[in-house]
Amino acid sequence: MKKPDVKVVLLGDMNVGKTSLLHRYMERKFKDTVSTVGGAFYLKQWGPYNISIWDTAGREQFHGLGSMYCRGAAAIILTYDVTSWQSLGELEERFLSLTDTANHDCIYALVGNKVDLTDAKAQLSQDSDGLSEDRSTAAAGDEEERTELQAAPASPVSLSGSVLRKQVTLEDAVALYGRIMRYKGLDETSKLPADKMCFETSAKTGYNVDALFETLFDLVLPSILRKRNEDKESPTVDLEEVGNKRSRSSCC
C-alpha cells in the first residue's frame, strides 16, 4: 500500500455526516451509513502525493480514541450539522481538546453539513462529476427533464418537500473559528481567514464537498513538502527489507 504523505482527520459529533462527506468525495455517492466504530481511512492521490483522510466515530464511547487519530494531522475538519446547535457546541466542548496532538501547523476547517435541509441553494447543487445522486436518479433517461431541473430557479422547498430551520448560521461558525484560533494561540497575521476556512456542505447533494477537500489539500502541500524533506534528511530503515537481505545472504 502507498505510504501517506500527510493526514487529514474528520472530527465531530455522531450523526453530523462525517462518513457521508467522505463517501460523497471519494465515491461520488450518498449512500446509507451505519454509525462509525473507531475510525477508518481512505487514501487519496493528490497529484504526486498521497493523502490519508480519516473518518472517526462521533459517539461518546469512542471519545478516548480521538486524540490518537489526530496525532500528526496536517488538517482537521471539525464537522457540525447546520440543523443542530448542539453539534456546534460539542465541537468546542468535546472535540477541540483532542486536536492538541495534531501538527503545530495543522490547518482547521469548520464544516456545517446537511445544508440541503435548510438552504435552497444547496438542494439542487451539482456534484463536479455531474448530477448529484438525487438529481441523476430523478432525471435518469430523460434529457429534457434533466435540462429543466438544471434551469429551475432555486426553490425554498427541499426534494423531500420540507425545509428545516437552520440552527447554526455561518456567522456562528465564523465566531467559533475565531475562538479556535485563539485556543491555538494564532493571531490575526498567522491564521487563515475564517471566510476561507468555514464551509457549508451537503453530502447528500454534493454541495461544496469538492471545494472543502480540495481547498484543504492545496493548503497542506507545504506540510507534505516539509515532511518529505525531513524524511530525506533522516531516512528510516525498513526492518523487513533488512531481514530479507539477511536471510538471503545466510542461505547462499
Ligand X SMILES: Nc1nc2c(ncn2[C@@H]2O[C@H](COP(=O)(O)OP(=O)(O)OP(=O)(O)O)[C@@H](O)[C@H]2O)c(=O)[nH]1
Residue choice 5, 12, 16, 19 for contact with Mg ion (CB under 5 A): 19
Closer CB to ligand X, 139 or 164, in the complex: 164
**Taking CB within 5 to 8 Å according to partner kind, which of ligand X, Mg ion, none is near residue 123?**
none
- Measured CA to CA, the distance from residue 116 to residue 163 in angstroms comes to 8
State yes or no: residue 14 binds ligand X (CB under 6 A).
yes
Residues 108-167 that bind ligand X (CB under 6 A): 113-114, 116-117
State yes or no: residue 56 binds Mg ion (CB under 5 A).
no
- Measured CA to CA, the distance from residue 61 to residue 75 in angstroms comes to 24
Residue choice 8, 9, 11, 16 for contact with ligand X (CB under 6 A): 16
Closer CB to Mg ion, 18 or 227, in the complex: 18
Q: Using CB atoms within 10 Å of the CB of residue 204, give its burial: 0 to 12 exposed, 13 to 18 middle, 19+ buried.
A: buried
- Measured CA to CA, the distance from residue 250 to residue 92 in angstroms comes to 58
C-alpha distances out from residue 196 to 173, 185, 187, 233, Å = 12, 19, 16, 34
**Taking CB within 5 to 8 Å according to partner kind, which of Mg ion, ligand X, none is near residue 191?**
none
Q: Dihedral through CA 242, CA 245, CA 247, CA 250, nearest 10?
A: -120
Closer CB to Mg ion, 59 or 246, in the complex: 59
Closer CB to ligand X, 87 or 103, in the complex: 87
